[in-house]
Amino acid sequence: MSTMKRKAGAEAGAEPKKAKQGSIMSFFGAPKPSASSGSASASNSAAAPAPVPEPVAPKFDKAKWVASLTPEQRTLLQLEIDTLHESWLALLKDELVTKEFLEMKKFLDRETAAGKKWFPPSEDVYSWSRYTPFNTVKVVIVGQDPYHNHNQAHGLAFSVRAPTPAPPSLKNMYIALKNDYPSFAAPANRGGLLTPWAERGVLMLNTCLTVRAHEANSHSNRGWERFTQRVIDLVAARRARGVVFMAWGTPAGKRVLRVDAKRHLVLKSVHPSPLSASRGFFTCGHFRTANEWLAERYGPQGRVDWALTEGASVLGEGSGEGEEVGDGPGKKGREEEKDKVEGEAVEGSVVKKVEAVVKASVLGANAGGNEKETAVETKGAIGKAEDDENAAPEVQA
């Protein structure tokens, strides 16, 4: 079968490439008019408003701003000066010098001085800002607490670097994706690196940006919540032509209460944790709904390609795109493996395996076509339920 293929993203651990100005300007041009609201717009119960010019930020002189800091501020904010992308630094500079933020930085210094290990590594705390500069944001996924075991958190909500396997919540996100895009294939070797999404404009932001090792929520209510709320508010206010906000779980939902649902698309669901995913997350449809809304506003180029395997794409569903080329030995086996995505769900006090399996639809089979649908099936028990939904499998350093 002939097909077009697209590159899925950068290799693990690589620093992000600079976005091409032409494509970004094309995406954030005036939204396309639409005669009908469509399924994405209908979820907001309002037609898209008329285009609004986005505010033009004055040129930011980083060196001048750094020179204006007091010696104490400069010491406390060295990490922000060195690692926060300049597009975000220009907008967040006033927040950084507030008493609340500086007190939070003093707290982190005390943690370090006391020998307390915290994650992610300091150089990764703001990796979200470098992978997704402000002017490239299309979608915001609101996370909660960073993963708190070794070799897990690296600054992007839900994402983990190899060799850490995808945590349960992320595996359940793969099932939801498989429901929306049957051609989606989970990364090889149980991978969980989401940098390709970040480089395509998906801001994956945790509410709290650091955590003490093996102690969930240990850095909550120290100042990060105010800072990340400012990030969300800035996107909502300054990306005025519209972006998609995905808020999974009650805490994330509270973070988007101030977002103008007439200007942006706000999608809410239960959290993908095994503790809650079976209550509607698997079939929430957020990934496809986001793309339908983005395409309606900005044209096909505004969509996000959710594929995570090199050379694949989910954007051509219905036209053969993203499917494997050619026949030959072993193709059936490869298709069967690709067409199954596994996750986890809790029933009572037992963790059970959940599989998203792609099957030919009745309509497609009767018509002689190759239409597909995804069935979510619960399999046998695989373990005992844990209380901590942020925990992921430990990988020793």
Q: What are the catalytic residues? A: 145
Strands 350-360 and 244-248: unpaired
Cβ proximity of 286 and 280 under 8 Å: no
Cross-strand partners of 345: 352
Give the position of tokens 């895009």: 181
Cβ proximity of 380 and 355 under 8 Å: no
Strands 211-212 and 118-119: antiparallel
Where in 202-349 does DSSP place strands (E)?
202-205, 211-212, 244-248, 265-269, 340-347
Measured at the alpha carbon of residue 197, what is the angle toward residues 180 and 173, in degrees to the nearest 5? 40
Closest CA to 123 of 76, 79, 66, 78: 79
H helices of the chain, in order, are: 21-27, 38-42, 62-68, 71-76, 78-83, 86-96, 99-113, 127-131, 168-180, 195-199, 224-238, 250-255, 286-298, 331-338, 362-366
End-to-end CA distance of the chain: 44
Closest CA to 359 of 186, 174, 182: 182
Closest CA to 192 of 208, 210, 180, 177: 177
Neighbours of 220 (CB within 10 A): 16
